[in-house]
Structures are given as structure tokens and as C-alpha cells.
Amino acid sequence: MNYTESVEMYLETILILSKKGDVRSVDIARYMGFSKPTISEQMKRLRGENLVEVDENNHVHLTDRGKKVAERVYERHQLLTKLFMSVGVDEVTATEDACRVEHYISEETFSKLHAHYKEKHS
């Protein structure tokens, strides 16, 4: 299923933050630079799509479905950043560009880039 760039960004953010510990809406707001009401509204939508759950301590968790989407986006981000840097793009620009491209690149193109990168860097 295809999700909007916004949904993918939220899920990726939750995945990244969860690697450091428990995730609360305020952590997401701080990381993304959005207001708490904006985050609350998006969390409501993500819960409605069965992409996240919020526990009794108000910690946000990815569902299996949400985690699958987040990991796919994060993998794209990581590989695209490395690819861009391997051709001489500075790290900041490579990271920013990867963040844009990760949401729109086709599965076929990403797969080919992934295979090419592995071949050249293994």
C-alpha cells in the first residue's frame, strides 16, 4: 500500500526515535519541529490506519504494519544517502536529498540502485 510522504515521515521518525528509547508525542514534535496539536492529530490518523499504537503511558509504538513501512523508508534513506555521498555529495546535502527522494523513487529503481551499490561496495 502506498502512503503519503507525511505518513512515511512520521513513521520513519518514530522508528528513529524508538532506537533511542520510549517515544512520546512530544518527542516526535520536537524532532520534526511541529506543534503538539499537529502531532496529536497525526497520531489519531495513524492509529486509525493501524500504523501506531499508544500505550497506557502515552508511549507511541509502531504496529507491525507501521514498522514495515518505516523500515522500508529508513532503508531507502540510508542507502540513498550513502549513494549520494559516494559520488561526492556532502553529507548534509546527501541526507536532505535522500529524505526527499526516498518517498518517490519506484521500487524497481531502488532495487537496481541497491544492487549496484552492493556490487560496488562489497
pLDDT per position in the chain (122 positions), as tens? Answer: 689 999 999 999 999 999 999 999 999 999 999 999 999 999 999 999 999 999 999 999 999 999 999 999 999 999 999 999 999 999 999 999 999 999 999 999 999 999 998 888 87
Is the pTM higher than 0.95? The answer reads no
Domain ranges of the chain: 5-67, 69-120
Residue matched to cell numbers 551499490: 117
Contact, 26 vs 36, CB < 8 A?
yes
For 69-120, CATH gives 1.10.60.10
Contact, 60 vs 14, CB < 8 A?
yes
At the second CATH level, the architecture of 5-67 is Orthogonal Bundle (1.10)
